[in-house]
């Protein structure tokens, strides 16, 4: 079970709140953070007890005010870190032997927390996207000092905050990395997420319409001159980090009193894996269980 609070920020998606649905299915405790004008709609779908209602609405600044409110809320409650998730995530999966296996988010979050808390200098950690970790390819269990998007575990005592209006995930990662902290992008656990601009609500209308993608890239370039440039990638304007993040080389620093890893604590069992639908995965899982792995 996760030791740090999980927040899901959502707007305009009470009828299609994917993240809230899978967390409920997993039995993962979380707070659903919404604006006051949508409280009744979200309560009807997900229950009033899960809601945290923001003290503002329709500021026109995307998700930034909500993200900073979440940060201060977690900090005020005495937590060392907090999870903040976008509301368009289908599920969490585990990568094992080149396969992406649906798994319990409680187990994934707990494993990431245990890993991160063994180090002194991890500012942000999070789960990579399924689309970037295809089946059949080998990936390291984690990467350091790169971007972390959409599913983040953030250290609460950082001096930095979410800012601006666009590309807030990239900007926050650049803030902490330029200050000598580390980020950790986990490949061992990944999220299956809706592609940007493919789902109604959220920031789709406020930020992405018309030339929003170009504005987003240019705004980040202005914040980070010499570090960020605007290119055309994936058929649209996109920001690009100089040398693909390789300029950030701060190593992870293990705590002096860090306990040794306990591989049995996070050994994945059938109880932690969601029902497998794909026939190929069913065959693979059956053979895996028969081998006793």
Domain count, the chain: 1
- CA separation for the pair 3, 81 (Å, rounded): 9
Nearest to 141 by CA among 103, 108, 173, 178: 108
pLDDT value at residue 91: 96
Taking a C-beta distance cutoff of 8 angstroms, is the pair 15, 87 a contact? no
pLDDT at 202: 54
* Amino acid 234: pLDDT: 61
- Residues of the chain short of pLDDT 50, as ranges, are 208, 268, 270-271, 293
Q: Is 215 helix (H, G, I), strand (E, B) or coil?
A: helix
In a domain, 1, yes or no: no
Domain assignment of residue 12, given as a range: 6-286
Instruction: Looking at the chain, list the stretches that DSSP marks H as alpha helix, in order from N- to C-terminal side.
Output: 18-26, 39-46, 64-76, 105-116, 168-178, 212-223, 279-291
Domain-located, residue 104? yes
Alpha-carbon span 16 to 14, nearest angstrom: 6
17 domain-assigned: yes
Contact 82, 71 (CB under 8 A): yes
Question: Is 246 part of any domain?
Answer: yes
Both structure tokens of 159: 């001096």
Contact yes or no for 106/2 (Cβ under 8 A) = yes
Residue the block writes with tokens 């005010």? 65
Give the number of other Cβ atoms within 10 Å of residue 25's Cβ: 12
Can you give the pLDDT at residue 245? 85
pTM equals 0.84
- Is position 223 within any domain? yes
**pLDDT for residue 258:** 87
Decide if 253 is inside a domain: yes
CATH number, domain with residue 150: 3.90.550
Which tens digits make up the pLDDT trace of 45-96? Answer: 999 999 999 999 999 888 999 999 999 999 999 999 999 999 999 999 999 8
Contact (Cβ atoms closer than 8 angstroms) between residue 38 and residue 106: no
Q: What is the pLDDT of residue 138?
A: 87
What pLDDT does 113 receive?
Answer: 96
The radius of gyration computed from the CA coordinates of the chain, to the nearest angstrom, equals 19
Q: Is 83 helix (H, G, I), strand (E, B) or coil?
A: strand
Domain-located, residue 265? yes
DSSP symbols for 187-209: EEEEEEEPPTTSSSSTTIIIIIT
Q: Does residue 115 lie in a domain region?
A: yes
Residue 270 is predicted with a pLDDT of 45
Residue 94 has what pLDDT? 94
Specify whether the CB–CB gap between 19 and 89 falls below 8 A: yes
């Amino acid at each position: 079970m996760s030791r740090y609070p999980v927040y899901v920020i959502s707007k305009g998606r009470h009828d299609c709140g994917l993240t809230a649905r899978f967390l409920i299915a997993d039995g993962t405790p979380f707070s659903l953070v919404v604006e006051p004008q949508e409280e009744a709609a979200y309560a009807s779908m997900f229950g009033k007890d899960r809601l945290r209602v923001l003290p503002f609405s329709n500021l026109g600044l995307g998700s930034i005010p909500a993200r900073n409110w979440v940060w201060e809320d977690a900090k005020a409650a005495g937590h060392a870190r907090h999870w903040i998730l976008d509301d368009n995530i289908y599920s969490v999966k585990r990568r094992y032997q080149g396969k992406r296996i649906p798994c319990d988010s409680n187990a994934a979050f707990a494993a990431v927390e245990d890993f991160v808390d063994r180090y002194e200098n991890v500012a942000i950690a999070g789960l990579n996207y399924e689309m970037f970790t295809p089946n059949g390819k080998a990936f390291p269990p984690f990467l350091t000092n790169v971007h972390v998007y959409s599913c983040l575990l953030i250290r609460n005592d950082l001096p930095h905050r979410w800012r601006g209006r666009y590309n807030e995930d990239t900007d926050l990662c650049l803030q902490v990395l330029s200050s000598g902290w580390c980020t950790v992008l986990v490949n061992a656990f990944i999220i299956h997420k809706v592609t940007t601009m493919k789902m109604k609500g959220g920031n789709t209308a406020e930020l992405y319409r018309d030339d929003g993608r170009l504005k987003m890239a240019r705004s980040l370039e202005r914040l980070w001159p010499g570090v960020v440039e605007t290119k055309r990638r994936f058929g649209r304007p996109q920001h690009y980090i100089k040398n693909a993040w390789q300029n950030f080389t701060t190593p992870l620093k293990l705590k002096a009193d860090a306990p040794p890893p306990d591989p049995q604590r996070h050994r994945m069992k059938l109880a932690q894996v969601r029902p497998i639908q794909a026939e190929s995965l069913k065959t693979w899982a059956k053979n895996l269980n028969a081998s006793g792995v």
